[in-house]
Structure 1
């Protein structure tokens, strides 16, 4: 099996419009969650979110492009541009056929869908723009990335709710490992902060009206966010031969299904995914120093995840550092694993572990070192990124210091 490394990273999310800005915010423990600014927000009971602030689509794309790009596609393209620039790769000649893109999203072009439901059902219009389907389809972002960079290899979209990004990145890594591709752009993007998107999540009664406080006894639920993260995954020998800067190695990946309940998480499914990623990487549990937790700020998720970590790591669980950056940027649903992978890169490369902010009182069922409120310096050689989705779909990535 060939080895896979990361040679480029890009993002736009509530904490920043680039990787450096995002990592600075994570180090500072800055909160990107605030008042939600969308149409008809007064009709919502939940009025906070992790929104990309000050975003002007016309500053990045022309009129013709905007007729094709939903907000989630825009975020993906901006993130891909930063990642490809950092990698220094030009997808020309034979490489074009050996390169592809796997992107995760849950809602796809939900803003486009929401706008056009309004046009047809509220305003009574009988015609919509001819490009509505190409805008709202889940594969739109992946397709536009492939066209922008001439990626002629495997290209598709993964939709597995909150695990979409991790599933996408895991599949991209496997394609390079097994020789189906040499370079893959991968990650995830989501833009569900429209009236219909927020109203749907309100119905689940898992949303907080004040803040996201994972692992805290006074938690009140999750907070939605939006944004994207895209990475360049590359076969290790190829990256070394061209003198590329290696950000980290994708050492292992595993995915499991609870095969249980559509919304209630299973400790056993999470255990199998975490243990499977370690087994795939050939790593003993004691090698892991940091876990970027799924950590949604709901009681069911937080307690289940902490129980799974104890099951896998035993006594070593007390020596792990664990944090949920959702406390800062919110839950980006299909894009969340990609943005959270940046915290793993920061821990491995810079020796700085992002905090779990908003922490007030300990929950006895989450009595692990969750790096409360303030970032911490620590040498980390191996980091895990957890994603546990509705539908019982679990995906865990293991990254190792380059």
Structure 2
């Protein structure tokens, strides 16, 4: 249609094509090389999440897939917002997708002590829904999940032209890289990324009314994120509710940030802050309001969304909820 040439598609992924590769390997082992699908290599291309969506929807603007591990969704949204600002396009379909629920990936995460190992005596042994518990004293790793999330970005002048209503505005983006360790976060660059997002939005830390935390439910990762937030917000952090959607939906890897951004935006629309469920207080976070166990009714307009990924890639976004 008329918008196709001015529409971009940016859908990132952390582990794109792993399911297609597994099917190909099983076919190779059980049936021989001639049974490997000719579509295997196209399905392994890193740009295919965006490419397939673009072909289906008729987008002929810029199409590529940002690869930012678990921050891919925020990278896609941040890049898309800049492309609109710079006049490269009028619309962007931006987000992330991952389908990592495969034996090899599950065991890989388990063997690197990233995901929770539910042993007898753990509260998740009897109730698996309690396995993901960010900021709790007994957090033991994340719960692997899968899914997809996309957000439609539009230039302001396109709203009235096409009868659209904005639900939020991308106010600021901060992106940094750790140059430090494959999985261990570098506090200084995370702190800088959070500050850059707030500065880019033209705000001060005290203007933020809600924080959608990366909050994966790992012992060290949750503590590192909170320590970075303490450095940025100081004592004011005690007054800012923060929560982790991963307590409810697990860790969807490359899809996580986009899904959580959508939930953050919907929360601003409805005046609701989603909780961190399965919470049992950790003395290390006695000063933190992690919205424990129950959703909260609260009008809020400015939200910070954090996303950090393996390889030391960080992307933080400030959203402003809108009513028009």
Q: Which residue of 1 aligns with 2:185?
A: 265
1:326 aligns with 2:233: no
Hey, what's the Cα distance between the residues in 1 that align with 2:98 and 2:220?
Answer: 23
How far did residue 246 of structure 1 move? 1.1
Which of 237, 240, 260 is the matching residue for 1:317? Answer: 237
Q: Where does the alignment leave 5 or more consecutive residues of structure 2 unmatched? A: 119-123, 125-130
1:167 aligns with 2:75: yes
1:378 aligns with 2:298: yes
Please provide the CA RMSD for this pair.
1.3
Residues 391 and 292 (structure 1 numbering): CA distance in 2 closer, same or farther, change over 3 Å? same
Q: Which residue of 1 aligns with 2:40?
A: 132
How far did residue 366 of structure 1 move? 6.3
Q: Which residue of 2 aligns with 1:55?
A: none
User: 1:213 is paired with a residue of what secondary structure?
Assistant: coil
Query: Within 5 Å, which residues of 2 pair with 1:113-124?
Result: 113-121=21-29, 123=30
For this pair of structures, how many residues does the alignment match?
A: 309
What TM-score results when the alignment is normalised by the length of structure 2? 0.92
Q: Which residue of 1 aligns with 2:20?
A: 112
1:156 aligns with 2:64: yes
Hey, what's the Cα distance between the residues in 1 that align with 2:108 and 2:282?
Answer: 31
Hey, what's the Cα distance between the residues in 1 that align with 2:162 and 2:27?
Answer: 51
Give per-residue Cα distances to partners, 1:57-90, cap 9 Å, x unaligned: xxxxxxxxxxxxxxxxxxxxxxxxxxxxxxxxxx
Hey, what's the Cα distance between the residues in 2 that align with 1:206 and 1:367?
Answer: 26
Hey, what's the Cα distance between the residues in 1 that align with 2:211 and 2:261?
Answer: 10
Cα contact 1:292–1:343 (8 A) shared by 2: no
Cα contact 1:215–1:363 (8 A) shared by 2: no
Give per-residue Cα distances to partners, 1:165-202, cap 9 Å, x unaligned: 11111111110011111101010000000112212212
1:184 aligns with 2:79: no
Hey, what's the Cα distance between the residues in 2 that align with 1:270 and 1:298?
Answer: 17
How far did residue 124 of structure 1 move? 5.3
Q: Which residue of 2 aligns with 1:207?
A: 115
User: 2:65 is paired with a residue of what secondary structure?
Assistant: strand
Query: Within 5 Å, which residues of 2 pair with 1:173-322?
Result: 173-208=81-116, 209=118, 210=124, 211-322=131-242
Q: Which residue of 2 aligns with 1:350?
A: 270
Q: Where does the alignment leave 5 or more consecutive residues of structure 1 unmatched? A: 1-91
Cα contact 1:287–1:381 (8 A) shared by 2: no
Q: Which residue of 2 aligns with 1:337?
A: 257
What TM-score results when the alignment is normalised by the length of structure 1? 0.75
1:399 aligns with 2:319: yes
Residues 315 and 240 (structure 1 numbering): CA distance in 2 closer, same or farther, change over 3 Å? farther
Hey, what's the Cα distance between the residues in 2 that align with 1:240 and 1:327?
Answer: 38
Which of 97, 106, 113 is the matching residue for 2:5? Answer: 97
User: 1:216 is paired with a residue of what secondary structure?
Assistant: coil
How far did residue 365 of structure 1 move? 4.3
User: 2:33 is paired with a residue of what secondary structure?
Assistant: coil
